[in-house]
Amino acid sequence: MPNKAPVWSLGKPSSRQKEFFLAGSRFVAYGGARGGGKSWAVRKKAVLLAARYPGIRLLLLRRSYPELRENHILPLLSELWGIALYKESEKAFTFGNGSRLRFGYCDAESDVLQYQGQEYDVIFIDEATQFTQYQFSTLTACLRGVSSFPRRMYLTCNPGGVGHDWVKRLFIDRQYRGAEREQDYTFIPARVYDNKALLQADAGYLSMLESLPEELRRAWLEGDWNAFSGQYFSEFSRELHVTKPFDIPSHWKIYVTLDYGLDMLACYWIAVDEKGCGFVFRELYQKDLIVSQAAEAILANSPEPPDLILAPPDLWNRRQESGRSVADIFAEHGLFLTKTSNDRLAGWMALKEWLRPVRDELGGRTARLKIFPQCVNLIRTLPALQYDEARPNDVADRPHELTHAPDALRGFCVYWTTPAKAPPQKRASWPPDLWEDYGNADERGRAYLIAKYGSPF
């Protein structure tokens, strides 16, 4: 009796998974809560596309290779036995009709560069909130070709992770910039309740989600994008901390705080008012600057002389080849640095205190630190920072690009700053006849004259 030909089965997708399969926009995100069957949907959609379009080029990505292997490669080895050939050296399945499904990962920020110049018809990013916006943007450039195949990117996502902010902006808040078009983005919410197969196989999984602490339960069970686990600065709120720009009073104290490396200069101008509140009103965020260029860029952006320029202690380290430090070269350009603390934990706690909501004079909510909207990189990176898994009280230093702006701000927050002093009231100049009226008036009349014309004393 001849062997039966291998058969691949789609199975029974949920209604939400069917929406995912049928969505036709350029970017389709499927997610929200955990346990919604997202990875299953990705694998099935990839095989459906490979079968439907002979010769199509597909790329499926996860953040790390172990996750990629366990969640996709091993299940597909079983499902596609006899249907597609897998080559470990290429990490790709090749189908009989010429379609190819390649697997990749982006553990480090720079790993995404290996895909530059490559062309794919469809890209899948599983757990997209574990990818940075830089990685996502780099990958979108690979979505191209001359064939008539669909050009799409499918993403799965949960609240949280380094990519929470850009995923939420595009697919939840639907706020678009530049050439981004609303019609290109579709979001399909997923809930564990949609995944009947999981609930039947493991009823305890739902109980586990329901018994989580409030923040985790809202993020993992309800798919609440406004509350997610792992965010270091959960105090940060755009509504509370981003303020409408205004002219900085000339008597306020001006601090410049910076974090410098060849990979990035992050520099911020902060005005402190009479109450000791800080307003981050200017940003300089530029990479690939040598020390002298960095100094010149700061000078070009400093029309008002600052009271202090704060910098981390490592800028005083002397370089072996020249015997000079970054601080020395800055001083040669007229920028004299003041050393701030490099204690990370103390700095992050100080930044949390600056961000902590407090009551204003009218009983509303405010904070000691406000940020002008033109400081786009600070506003982008602060809410994206995660806890370090190895050091729970510290900020994760990966992806490194997210740390430059917060590191610069940390140096300011941990430094002992003092409030501005209000300028002395200018005495009123009274004409002789007003002095005569004052001399003839009683106590009540004199008080009236001072209130109306200002005190001459």
Residue 22 pLDDT = 93
CA distances from 104 to 123, 137, 306 (A): 10, 16, 48
Confidence of residue 44 (pLDDT cuts 50, 70, 90): very high
Average of per-residue pLDDT across 319-335: 89
pLDDT over 80 (residue 398): no
Residue 200 pLDDT = 66
Q: Give dist(CA 280, CA 267) in Å, integer.
A: 10
Domain ranges in the chain with CATH number 3.30.420.280: 238-413
Residue 229 pLDDT = 56
Average of per-residue pLDDT across 308-319: 94
Q: Give dist(CA 252, CA 234) in Å, integer.
A: 29
Confidence of residue 1 (pLDDT cuts 50, 70, 90): very low
Average of per-residue pLDDT across 53-78: 93
Domain ranges in the chain with CATH number 3.40.50.300: 15-220
**pLDDT tens for residues 281-299?**
999 999 999 999 999 999 9
Architecture of domain 238-413: 2-Layer Sandwich (3.30)
Confidence of residue 377 (pLDDT cuts 50, 70, 90): very high
Residue 16 pLDDT = 87
Tell me, yes or no, if the pTM score tops 0.95: no
C-beta of residue 272 within 8 angstroms of C-beta of residue 413 = no
- Report the percent of the chain where pLDDT is more than 70: 89
Confidence of residue 28 (pLDDT cuts 50, 70, 90): very high
Residue 216 pLDDT = 64
**pLDDT tens for residues 163-213?**
887 898 999 888 898 889 999 999 998 876 666 665 565 667 667 777 666
Q: Give dist(CA 191, CA 221) in Å, integer.
A: 7
**pLDDT tens for residues 363-375?**
778 899 999 999 9
pLDDT over 50 (residue 148): yes
Q: Give dist(CA 41, CA 39) in Å, integer.
A: 5
User: What CATH number labels 15-220?
Assistant: 3.40.50.300
**pLDDT tens for residues 200-243?**
656 676 677 776 666 666 666 666 777 665 678 888 888 899 99
